[in-house]
Structure 1
Amino acid sequence: MDTRLLLVSHASTPAMRAGRFPADDPLDARGLAEAQAARQRLAIADAAAVFVSPAVRARDTALALGLAATVHTALAEIDYGGWQGRRLADLANEAPQHLAAWLRDPDFAAHGGESFSQLVKRLGEWLDALDGAISEGTTGTTSAPRQNPRNVVAITHAPVIRAALVHALGASPAVFPRIEIAPLSAVELRRSSRGWTWWPASH
């Protein structure tokens, strides 16, 4: 049986709107309202397993969507190192060469955090081991019973979803600046005997 994975990016946060690298911030009233409004559009009702990043903003999004989720560290936000909580505008003034390198080089990690290439490796390992993760993550929606044992949902972050797409398509990590993931957008991946494929999400 094929595995269907729906990757959902968390709702917007004050840090995102201010052009700041996130710390472990919760959703504010605006982000919670956006997530609650997206609940009907996403209509996640038959997931066998729901996973979520450890970040508070991701867990808040899962709850606002009515999902009881299992925290999985593989879905954690990319590590921004010393840039966590900093404004991009400030970094553009203080370290323009490093910021420019981060925006184009998937192997850049001079900020002391995780490179995008490292993130692709982390996500690839999780995707390729997903069958085992399904058996561990036995939570689903708070209001509906589990039906399809191969329907999986993951509430996570835009860079993580970019990394999942790069791995699924067998693409070079260098394409990452060309992938845009908006808050509360959904990307669907399916695994069959052919491996992972990207499907247009119907949400």
Structure 2
Amino acid sequence: MSGVRLLAAATTPSLRRAVFGGDDDDLDEGGLRAALALCDPDGPADLGGRGDLWVCAPSQAALQTARALGHDDPVVEKALADPGYGTWSGLGLGDVAGTDPDGLQTWLSDPGAAPHGGESLTAVRQRAGAWLDSQREQRTVAVAHPVVIRAALTHALGLPDAAVWQLDVAPLSLIRLTHRTSRWHVSFPPAG
């Protein structure tokens, strides 16, 4: 049985402002403090054992989150990268809503669409899902942008691509998955 923990990276200024492709920002002060608080040995986080493999998306936010949690040299995994947002990169959600409302609506309603010329959410799900499936025999903690965590979770549960919008993943959310009986299972540990 494997144990994969999906950890959403801590907040950055771009994430707080809903900027497309803003995952290369440094963590903001609140995000860094929140990540450091997870290191508290009396805290509720179940971040796995010391022998677990730590991997992270190739972004400052993911790397700095892992480092704040005491893992200075995580394996950088391109399959966990934030989506490529093409012409929307660096723009806020409000900016895109004002300049390309039809494209935004298409993107929000059709996970296979990429009106920005970048990567569709279906493509993100496929690459994140393929990576997740490669971890079936591993004990891994993976740090990535919340949308990538949503895509991986959608894959793990066998949900339709559009379900990515039905899952809310806040920064520093921790989702524990196990692989047994030929499928992924989501584990909800007790509080406290």
Do these two structures clear the TM 0.5 threshold for a shared fold by scoring above it?
Answer: yes
2: CA distance, partners of 1:106 / 1:202: 33
Identity of aligned residues (%): 37
Per the alignment, in what secondary structure is the counterpart of residue 190 of structure 1? Answer: strand
Return the structure number with greater helix share: 1
Query: What's the CA shift string for 1:142-180, capped at 9, x where partnerless?
Result: xxxxxxxx4210011111111111111111001111110
What residue is the counterpart of 2:112 in the other structure?
107
Per the alignment, in what secondary structure is the counterpart of residue 39 of structure 1? Answer: coil
Counterparts of residues 108-127 of structure 1 (less than 5 Å): 108-127=113-132
Distance 1:26 1:129, change over 3 A: same
Q: Which amino acid aligns with 2:122?
A: S
What residue is the counterpart of 1:35 in the other structure?
35
Using the TM superposition, give the Cα deviation of residue 4 of structure 1 relative to its aligned residue in structure 2, in angstroms: 0.6
2: CA distance, partners of 1:114 / 1:166: 17
Asked if structure 2 preserves the Cα contact closer than 8 Å seen for 1:20 and 1:88, the reply is yes
Structure 2, unaligned runs of 5 or more: none
What residue is the counterpart of 2:9 in the other structure?
10
TM-score (norm: length of structure 1): 0.85
Using the TM superposition, give the Cα deviation of residue 26 of structure 1 relative to its aligned residue in structure 2, in angstroms: 1.2
Using the TM superposition, give the Cα deviation of residue 50 of structure 1 relative to its aligned residue in structure 2, in angstroms: 0.7
Q: Does 1:50 align with 2:38?
A: no
2: CA distance, partners of 1:7 / 1:157: 10
Using the TM superposition, give the Cα deviation of residue 45 of structure 1 relative to its aligned residue in structure 2, in angstroms: 5.1
Aligned length: 185
CA-atom RMSD in angstroms: 1.7
TM-score (norm: length of structure 2): 0.89
Using the TM superposition, give the Cα deviation of residue 27 of structure 1 relative to its aligned residue in structure 2, in angstroms: 1.0
Q: Structure 1 residue runs of 4+, over 6 Å off?
A: none
Asked if structure 2 preserves the Cα contact closer than 8 Å seen for 1:186 and 1:201, the reply is no
Per the alignment, in what secondary structure is the counterpart of residue 106 of structure 2? Answer: helix
Per the alignment, in what secondary structure is the counterpart of residue 54 of structure 2? Answer: strand
Counterparts of residues 137-152 of structure 1 (less than 5 Å): 150-152=138-140
Per the alignment, in what secondary structure is the counterpart of residue 15 of structure 2? Answer: helix
1: CA distance, partners of 2:128 / 2:27: 24
Per the alignment, in what secondary structure is the counterpart of residue 38 of structure 2? Answer: helix
2: CA distance, partners of 1:157 / 1:124: 14
Structure 1, unaligned runs of 5 or more: 135-149
Counterparts of residues 162-177 of structure 1 (less than 5 Å): 162-177=150-165
Using the TM superposition, give the Cα deviation of residue 39 of structure 1 relative to its aligned residue in structure 2, in angstroms: 2.4
Query: What's the CA shift string for 1:86-108, capped at 9, x where partnerless?
Result: 01111111111111111121111
